[in-house]
Homo-oligomer: A and B are copies of this chain.
Amino acid sequence: MTKKRPLLLLSNDDGINAKGIHELIRALRPVGDLIVVAPDGPRSGASGAITSASPIQYALLQQEAGLALYKCSGTPVDCVKLALHAIVPAVPDLVIGGINHGDNSSVNVHYSGTMGVVIEGCLKGIPSIGFSLCNHSADADFSATLPYVRRIVEETLAKGLPEGICLNVNFPDTSDLEGVLICRQTHGVWTNEFVKADHPRGGNYFWLTGEYKNLEPDAEDTDHWALAHNYVAITPTQIDVTAYAMVRELKTWNFDV
């Protein structure tokens, strides 16, 4: 009796033509059947955005045994929603985002379209993992990450994840990985976020850029510390964002009108 191959739904925010998602496909072809539904162009920084003011479409690009590739006109989250609604033949065993061209550790989790994919999978009750490499280049070298991507996916398939918890995996940009550390989200802040330029017809426009400041660079349990020391950072991430510690305090406040 052969065991059924896992079904993996893949998406990203860099778009269907990005190197990172094709490297992800390459890493995971041996692990399961892959359905890839990714944006038809870059959607970096899309976070959990959804498209409601206009309709979206998808189209099959490539199909062979164990692999189907689709492009979708929507956001990363739209891709997951539409794939689950209209494309997959069964509920996937995993939803996987990435491999992102760029760091999604620390506060970047809030802006990340890759983690948008992952959080959406998690909201649908499916174990979900995001992979990101700390290199924004279009031709970044993902080769050192691939054995870890495969191992993390295999281990997650074997062990499962509790409902409401997904994984945010970040790789330092090195060929010399030290192994895996389980981390928490680093406390940090973006500063100097815009470059101002003059519009040729008057006025200014602003490019988003910025410098990330780690507010706890010595904390060895954080994802940024792991990355700075050449470790793969796995940060378990939850979709319940309630600040439970604040509930009791707020009950003492006066909200009478």
Which residues on A are within 8 Å of B, measured CB to CB?
42, 44-53, 55-59, 75, 77-78, 81-82, 85-86, 107, 109-111, 113, 116, 119-120, 123-125, 147-148, 150-152, 155, 159, 161-162, 164-165, 179-180, 182-185, 187, 189-190, 192-194, 196-197, 199, 203-208, 232, 234-244, 246-247, 250-251, 253-257
Contact = CB atoms under 8 A, between A and B. Distances in A.
A197 to B, nearest CB: 7
Given A48-B111, A155-B254, A236-B242, 15 more contacts: A47-B47, A77-B111, A81-B193, A86-B194, A86-B206, A110-B123, A110-B239, A147-B257, A151-B257, A152-B255, A161-B246, A164-B243, A187-B240, A236-B246, A237-B242
Given A45-B51, A52-B45, A194-B86, A242 B111 contact: no
A245 B35 CA distance: 31
Given A49-B49, A255-B155, A205 B56 contact: yes
B49 A45 contact: yes
A124 B189 contact: yes
B45 A208 contact: no
A149 B244 CA distance: 22
Given A196-B86, A236-B243, A250-B234, A50 B111 contact: yes
Copies of this chain, count: 2
A116 B241 contact: no
The DSSP consensus for interface residues of chain A is mixed
Contact of A206 (B55, B123, B190, B242): B55
Nearest to A146: B257
A208 B78 contact: yes
A107 B238 CA distance: 12
A241 B241 contact: yes
10 contacts: A46-B47, A47-B49, A48-B48, A55-B197, A55-B205, A110-B120, A155-B254, A179-B255, A185-B240, A241-B241
A246 B208 contact: no
